Structure formats: structure tokens, C-alpha cells
Structure 1
Amino acid sequence: MKKTFFILVLVLTVGSLTLYNASIAAAKASKGDLVLISKKVKSAPADAGSSQWNKAKEAKIIAVGAGNVEGNIIPLKTKSVYTKDEIFFLFQWYDYNKSMDKNEWKFKGGKWNKTKANEDRLGVVWEINRVDKFANKGCTVLCHNESKNDKEWYYSTSSSREKADLWHWKAVRSNPVGYTEDGFVIDNPSKEPEAGRKRDAGSKTTKAKNNRTKDKSGPAYMQDPSKPATIPGSLLVAQAVEIKGSSTFKEGDEIPAYMLYPVWKDSFADIKTKGIWKDGQWTVMMSRKLKTGHDDDVQFNTRKKYPFGIAIFDNSGDHDSYNSEPLKLQFK
């Protein structure tokens, strides 16, 4: 039985890798699409397999690596549809390794150790107020790298009149509870790395919480043993209990580094998301109201065109990302 299972896993792995390599080869031979058409549909798609997506035109986008992945590429397939009140996006890209262990705690040698793993992510950036040169240069105008030390790079628009909408999907910290983090970028005269990047209203009480002791030597909370985990692999705040000593843990035990809130609030919760990793590929569906009424969001008018940019992070963060050319959204 074990031998049969091993052979099955090997076949599936080789098959996924073959598809991935073929996709990369095709992408290198193409410049990719720069326009995404959002098609009007009568009703909202329930998931990535809904029939509404058959009416949408697929855009094939090439994301080019930067930082430690410079020179590599990731081909991304995307579609968009909209109804009277909402807009929907479908993103698909090959990712051979599902990265879901960001800073995870592991019990080893009688103590807790934090892994150096990260998570898979997807970022989408729009203009709220016009951002100078964004339509022609894309997301690069928001990330400033005046220092040789990339830890000192900072996010900022060019003036106080400019404002960008930042959607940040995270495989560990947002996807399990069905959201994409909603934030924005503003002018950052201080040049502090994160001072120009803000989260929308509601984030202070609903974004993922660090699960660690005051001295950061281990996790502070664990899954309540009297309650089955609602989301396997994730720790919800309401199902967490404080850890009392380490005598109950055995070698190899793992505890998530973040505690999640299952329901988000206010503008931070605008972007509902369903992300699934299967057969070496992420499929992520995002939905949002065309007009949220919040001043920290782009407001979509179906008679207009919107420049945007996409970034993919493969078990990484900061500047080790795969970035698209400047893109444009049109409605039909």
C-alpha cells in the first residue's frame, strides 16, 4: 500500500513539474498581455469553477523576478467579471511548493524554535488618487530604493495629493479566513520603511495577531484541546488557550505563529477571497464592491479604465517578488 501511494505521489509531482516547466517555457517566448477585460455578467460567480468565468477573456501576464529571484519569471493567468454592484478577479499561477509555514513554531530539543519559512502572497495595486508615472511605470514608483541596504527601502507616493490602493493576499494570515488585506500607500517624508504603507480602517482589531511570549522565545497560545480546529492548520483567537509550561509537548510538535480572527470589520474587510492550492497551482478568487464608499479604496466606474500592477511572492516577502509590467483594467 505504501509503495502504491509513493508511486502515485511521484506521478502527480512529475506531472505538476512538467506543466510548470512548459508554462515557464511558453511565458519566456511571450511578452504577455497588458490589458485585462472585465466582462459584465448577470450573477456573481460562487467560486473558480462557476460558469460566469467562461464569458471572461483570459489575460496571460508575465511576472518578472526582483531581489533574490531576479531573472526568474512566473506566468500568471487572470480573468475578471462584474455585476451591477461587484467586481470579481480570478488569479492562477504555478507554485510548486505550497508555503504555509510562516514563522511557525516547532518543538525541538526540548525547546521552541521559530522556522525561517515565509508564505505565498499576491499583491495588487491601484490608484485611489492619481499617482505620478504609475500608469507607465507601475508599482516601482511606490517602492524607493535609495539605500544599498534593502531593509531601508521605503514605500511612498511622490506627494501628499497621491494615494494608492494596496490589496495584499497572504496564504497564512488572510486566506484561511477568506479575506485579502486591504491597505493603501501615501506620501512618506520620513522615509521609514513602513511609514507610507497603511492598513484600512478595522485592521487594528481583526488582522492576524503574533502568537509569541513577551520574550519572543516561543508561542504563547495553542489550540484548545477541548475544541476541534475550525480551520485545520490555523489557530483562531476564539479557540486559543494560553500555554502553561512545555512538559505536554513532544519532539516535532508545531504551533502556528499567528492567531486569526474569522470575521474582519470595516474597510479592511472589503475584499472577500477564496484561495486554493492544488496540483502545484494557486487559484485565488477575489471579490469586492465596485464602489465601497471608503476613501481608502479605489472606486470603480465601469466607464473608465484603471492602471494597476501585480506582484507575486513565492515563500517570500519584502523585495523578493515577481512583478508585472504596468497593466490596465477595462470594462465591457
Structure 2
Amino acid sequence: MRRTALLATGAVFVAALGYSWLTHGRGVVRDDPARHISVPATLTVPLSVQVAHNGTDVLFRYRWPAPNPGIFHDMLRYEGGAWQVRGAAVPGSQPDGLHEDRVSMMLDDGSVPEFGRYGGYVAIGARLAGFTDEASGREVREHPELGRRLGLDEPTKYLPATRSDPADFAAVVPEAEQRRLQAAGYFLDLWHWRAARSNPVGVADDQFITAGRLSDAGRGMYTTNWDGPNRRPARMFDPAQAGGRAAFRWEDLTQGRIGQDDVNALTDRNSVPFDPNHAWRDGDTIPRRLLRAPQGSRADIAVAGRARWADGTWDVTLRRRMDTGAPQEDKIIRDGGVYQAAFAIHRQATGGRWHYVSLPLSIGFGRAADVQSARFEGDSPDWSQPAHAVTLFYPGQVNWPLIVGDRHPGADRVRAGVPVRFRHSEDQLAHYGVEMEFNEAIQRQWRLTLLAGIGLIAAFGIALTATIGRRTGA
């Protein structure tokens, strides 16, 4: 009997040891497209920022590393007699490289006090696009405020006070309250430069964040190049304006043969109406976006000079009037003021939430701040002042309801107004972001390893007791 018991406990011991060996330290951090998870190999990226103003205009200069220039976005490819959309957004990098590089900036004047302490986290609400539990486009489109009035078709960034319950993306406060908040300055100004959809026409998109991510009044700089009833592009390249071609060749796009100095975007000036009788070949490719001159307030932000990628680095300078005359869409910048900014970049064919973001910084215009704007005379600054080094980090699926909720051990500090940079570094936040993407898997793995350890200890104790009892004749 004792021999049988000893063999049984020995088997349990070996099994527990083997299970502990297999489960301990097993990686749970892995891409999972079904859950919208794709973790970048690099969790932090440097960005340099300079600011200058002349009393009329303000200029922001951004420089950041990128392995290659992402100057293309989604395309229409001819294949088997039909036009197919290629380059749709995916978790992480788009496989064909068809997602443009971008730099964006959120700007505030102190009217959103949480932004100066926590940056873009304050605008990341519940169930946003790209999160594992994202709300459906249908939910947004059918929502009386988000879809039917504001025209949104996906769950976007929003500010907490625009919801009666900040943890519920659908709990939008009434329109009158939204307007009251916006009139009081409760919105974030959003500057958004896109390498494919805005740069070729020399502008950045001008947007703002309130109950959602909205565009300033006026016409945007791109539209969709698609003839729905006929299921084909609406326009094609004018061969006389595009080096004799009516379309790109797919292999030229994907193998990097079309550069910044080539015709690389479809505009209202280099295109003509689509010709269905053209001798189209498999692999012919036309941009899905048609670029045009923007109008109204949405056209306020210009590209100063030429935004260029060279030797592994993007160099982008944006210019805007300090006072645009639109105080409910733009933050009006004045000499003697201090403003808060947070930056983000997309690179390596990533879109949506797969970007790198910064903690908030203060920008001073003749006042002490993290970044000092250099005053210049005339039309252009000489950029002789030192650039401010910013560390960008991958944020993962961390949102504002989580930060202020019971699951966050530091929620009491947040509620007390302690700025995030006093508690965490960018590197820590990047790793916390990854941990939150795999929180359930990490906890499950920990429980399994703990269970195996307990079984190992129990089996060892039983085996040891049985062995001692056998030797003593008990």
C-alpha cells in the first residue's frame, strides 16, 4: 500500500514539476488580431519639438525617426476585372505598407485642466475604435447625438464631461450642454498632418475633440475616389500630368519605387474622370483618396516649406495664425500665454491606436514653460534654439475610465490631481500599456503557475512523509 502511495505521490510530484516548468515564464504577450492586439517591437520613440512665433503666426517643427517614408494610404487595385480596396486598417502594421505616416498634436489653453496633468489619456474613453471591446460602427451611426447629429461613424476620442457617465461612450450629455462646454473652451485643438492625405497639398487637418473627434468648419482636403453605382474609381491620373500613366503599378508601390519627388498622390489638378475603356491591366492601382484644396476653418494649418523624409528622419513644420478667429474650434494663442500640448506619431504603416504618444508639455510664449517659443521677426524663424527632446511611448489599451476607476491603484492620486509624470516615466507607461492588453492572460498564467507550485509542494510533502514513514517502519 505504501509503495503504491509513494509511486502515486511521486507521479503527482513529477507531473506538478513538469507543469510548473512548462507554465512558469511562458510568454503571454503575443499578437492577437481577433482581439485587436498588435504590440510594436519598439515601445518608445524620440521626437524633437521646436516652437516659434512672430506675433501673428506660430510654427511647430517636429522631427522623428522612421525606417522608411510612409507616403501612401489605401488604394484601389484592378484584379480579375474588378476594382478592389487594398490597404484597409488592421491591428499594427498594414501588410502592404499602405498606411501613411502622421504627426498630430493636441493643444489646450488650460480650459481642460486634466489634460495638462494627464495628456491624451483624458480623451481616451470607453470602447473606442481599435480596443478589444470597441463599439460597433452601427451603434455609433444610429446614436442620436454621435451619429445622427455629429456625423460620426466610429467610436472616437471624447472628453469626460461630455458624458453623464464617462465610462459609457453612449451616455452623451444633451446638445445644449455640449454647446455650453464648448463655448467655455472645454475642447482640445487637434492638429493632424498626414503624409498621404494632406501633405501633397501643403496642409494639415484642423480638428478638435469634445463629444467626439470633430473637424473644423469647412471642406476637408480629401474625399473618397469611388464611383459607387459602377463599383470603380471616380477619377484616374491624367497621363499628361503624371508621366504618361493613368495608374500606379502595384509592384512599384509595394517595392518603394515611387518616391516623394514623383507624382505620388491623386489630386483634382492631376486627374481626369475615370475611363472604363482604358486598357486596364491586373495590378493597375489608383489612390482611393482624391486630394483637393481645403476651405474654411479646416484649412487653417499649413505646411511650412516642404515636409520631407531623409536619412531615416521626418522633418515637418506646421504653421497657423495665432488667432484664427474661431475660438470655439481652435485654441487662440497669445503672447505671454502658457499652453499645454501632447504629441503623437504614426509610422511603419500603422493606423488608429497603434501609435506613439507623449505626456503633456507646457509651451510658453514669453513665459517659463517646458518648451519656449522663440520670438522672431519677419516671415520665417532660423530655428537656432535647441530642440526639446520628447519621449513618445506606446499606450496600449489604457483609457480614462480605467485610470480613475477601482482597478487602478493610483486612482486616488489622479482624483487628487497629481500629474502623471510625477508618478510614472514614459518607459513605465509603455510597459503598463502592454500589461493591460494582456491583463487577463497574465493573471490566468499567474494562477496556473501558483496552482502548479502548490501541487509541487504538496506532492513533495506527501512523498517525503511516505518515505520517512517507510524507513521508520511506521
**In 2: Cα distance, 1:272 partner to 1:247 partner:** 37
Give the corresponding residue for 2:156.
154
Moved more, 213-222 or 112-121: 213-222
Amino acid in the other structure paired with 2:226: R
Shift of 1:146: 4.4
Residue pairs, 1:84-123, within 5 angstroms: 84-116=55-87, 117-123=98-104
Shift of 1:140: 1.2
Amino acid in the other structure paired with 1:250: R
Give the corresponding residue for 1:271.
301
**1:251 matched to 2:282:** yes
Taking only the aligned residue pairs, the percentage that are identical comes to: 27
**1:200 matched to 2:216:** yes
Deviation track 1:126-182 (CA, whole Å, cap 9, x = no partner) reads: 126711410010011112134742455532122332111111111111111000100
2:195 alignment partner, one of 155, 161, 171: 171
**1:285 matched to 2:317:** yes
**In 1: Cα distance, 2:225 partner to 2:208 partner:** 26
**In 1: Cα distance, 2:157 partner to 2:198 partner:** 21
**In 2: Cα distance, 1:298 partner to 1:321 partner:** 24
Structure 2 unpaired stretches of 5+: 1-35, 88-97, 137-154, 162-177, 244-260, 367-474
Deviation track 1:16-74 (CA, whole Å, cap 9, x = no partner) reads: xxxxxxxxxxxxxxxxxxxxxxxxxxxxxxxxxxxxxxxxxxxxxxxxxx963456111
Residue pairs, 1:66-77, within 5 angstroms: 68-69=38-39, 72-77=43-48
Residue pairs, 1:167-246, within 5 angstroms: 167-186=191-210, 188=211, 196-203=212-219, 206-214=220-228, 217-228=231-242, 232-245=263-276
Shift of 1:217: 4.4
Shift of 1:244: 3.1
**In 1: Cα distance, 2:365 partner to 2:270 partner:** 43
**In 2: Cα distance, 1:294 partner to 1:114 partner:** 37
Aligned length: 256
* Higher normalized strand content (fraction of residues): 1
* Higher normalized helix content (fraction of residues): 2
1:155 alignment partner, SS class: coil
**In 2: Cα distance, 1:76 partner to 1:165 partner:** 20
Shift of 1:207: 2.5
Q: Which runs of 4+ in 1 moved over 6 A?
A: none
**In 2: Cα distance, 1:122 partner to 1:145 partner:** 24
Shift of 1:250: 2.2
Counterpart contact for 1:145–1:154, Cα < 8 Å = no
Amino acid in the other structure paired with 1:232: V
Give the corresponding residue for 1:313.
346
Counterpart contact for 1:67–1:319, Cα < 8 Å = no
**In 2: Cα distance, 1:175 partner to 1:304 partner:** 29
**In 2: Cα distance, 1:179 partner to 1:306 partner:** 23
**In 1: Cα distance, 2:70 partner to 2:187 partner:** 31
**In 2: Cα distance, 1:90 partner to 1:181 partner:** 16
Give the corresponding residue for 2:120.
139
**In 1: Cα distance, 2:192 partner to 2:342 partner:** 12
Give the corresponding residue for 1:46.
none
Give the 3 Å change call, closer, same or farther, for CA 216–307 of structure 1 in structure 2: farther
Structure 1 unpaired stretches of 5+: 1-65, 189-195
Amino acid in the other structure paired with 1:269: A
Shift of 1:85: 0.9
**In 2: Cα distance, 1:225 partner to 1:267 partner:** 33
**1:329 matched to 2:367:** no
**In 1: Cα distance, 2:197 partner to 2:230 partner:** 19
Give the corresponding residue for 1:29.
none
2:160 alignment partner, SS class: coil
**In 1: Cα distance, 2:107 partner to 2:56 partner:** 19
**In 2: Cα distance, 1:251 partner to 1:300 partner:** 52
The normalised TM-score by structure 2 is 0.50
Question: Which structure would you say has the larger Rg?
Answer: 2
Amino acid in the other structure paired with 1:213: D
Amino acid in the other structure paired with 2:38: N
**1:303 matched to 2:336:** yes
Q: How well do the aligned residues superpose, as a CA RMSD in angstroms?
A: 2.5
Amino acid in the other structure paired with 1:291: D
Residue pairs, 1:8-19, within 5 angstroms: none
Give the corresponding residue for 1:130.
111
Residue pairs, 1:12-91, within 5 angstroms: 68-69=38-39, 72-91=43-62
**In 2: Cα distance, 1:216 partner to 1:166 partner:** 36
Shift of 1:107: 2.7
**In 1: Cα distance, 2:158 partner to 2:230 partner:** 30
**In 2: Cα distance, 1:216 partner to 1:328 partner:** 51
The normalised TM-score by structure 1 is 0.70
**In 2: Cα distance, 1:128 partner to 1:294 partner:** 14
Shift of 1:308: 1.0
